[in-house]
Amino acid sequence: MLTRQESRNHLGFGQSEQHEGQDLSLAAHSRNFAQLLDHWGLSRPSVVAHDIGGAVALRTLLLEERNSGT
């Protein structure tokens, strides 16, 4: 079984930089996450998320029409 693990901070959170005028809304984070999954070619990833990441993952699953592997 091939596994891949990635760890990311959402823009404006953790150690990432925050810029004036940057869209840090839940919708923007969800779009960014969906685009990242597309870029990686992951159609049904298993995602572990917490804090704001949990809300982003859930919104991506429900509103950006992405599927979760588990």
Q: Which helix (H) or strand (E) holds 52?
A: helix 52-63
pLDDT at 66 over 80: no
Please give the residue that has the higher pLDDT: either 7 or 24: 24
Q: Helix, strand, coil shares of the chain as percentages rounded to 5?
A: 40, 0, 60
Report the alpha-carbon distance of residue 21 to residue 66 in Å, rounded.
28
Q: Which helix (H) or strand (E) holds 34?
A: helix 26-40
pLDDT digits (tens, 9 = 90+) for 1-23: 667 777 777 878 777 888 888 89
CB contact at 8 A, 38 and 64: no
- 25, two tokens: 């809304």
pLDDT at 26 over 70: yes
pLDDT digits (tens, 9 = 90+) for 28-63: 999 999 999 899 888 788 888 888 889 999 998 888
